[in-house]
Structure 1
Amino acid sequence: MANTAPTDRLSALTLALGALGWVLEDGERAERFLSLTGLDPDALRAGLDDPSILAAPLDFLANHEPDLIRAAEALAVTPEELVAARQELSQ
């Protein structure tokens, strides 16, 4: 059986970047995200290659179902796929 972990990891990273973009495109939502995560724009820029930083927008969405559903719709994925990406990046 082939190991699909690298593909899963790449998919998770791609979804996380999409989720981050979606979170940041709305000013109020972006402010809430930064406030709740304790991140700042410099930390986000510096951490774009860090899975724990990229997991932050997925955590943010998973903890607020209305945003999770809207983000999933905007990214053309299911909410479950966003949650699975979060789990993949948290490993």
Structure 2
Amino acid sequence: MKNNINLDDANTLAINSLVFLAADSELLSRFLALTGISADQIRAAAGEPGFLPGVLQFYLGHEPTLMRYCDATGTDPAVFQEALRLLPGGRQESD
């Protein structure tokens, strides 16, 4: 089932997800370790193509983290897949 979101919604979800993980030292540490960037590089990296899809992939790659975000924000987990598909550099799935 597809959610009715657009590119702006997908960007907003990715940015909000980044803010959420940046506010949690445990999530941030794991994210930085997986991406290989440092905390002071996040702001610059956020403007790079592929970074925001990478944030969504971080959540999708670890269900407890995804559910933690979704439970805290009332977000449907399925929105993450659709947002990833919409973002430039995200997964291009055939329908």
Calculate the TM-score normalised by the size of structure 2: 0.77
Paired residue type of 1:32? R
Give the counterpart of 1:87 among 81, 85, 88: 85
Aligned position for 2:32: 34
Give the counterpart of 1:52 among 34, 50, 53: 50
> What is the rounded CA distance, in whole Å, between the counterparts of 2:18 and 2:83 in structure 1?
13
> What is the rounded CA distance, in whole Å, between the counterparts of 2:82 and 2:22 in structure 1?
21
Deviations 1:18-74 (A, max 9, x none): 111111111121010110112223432113333411112211110000111111122
Paired residue type of 1:64? H
Structure 2, unpaired ranges of 5+? none
> What is the rounded CA distance, in whole Å, between the counterparts of 1:44 and 1:58 in structure 2?
15
Structure 1, unpaired ranges of 5+? 1-6
Q: Percent identity?
A: 35
Higher helix share: 1
> What is the rounded CA distance, in whole Å, between the counterparts of 1:73 and 1:84 in structure 2?
18
Alpha-carbon RMSD across the aligned residues, in angstroms, is 1.7
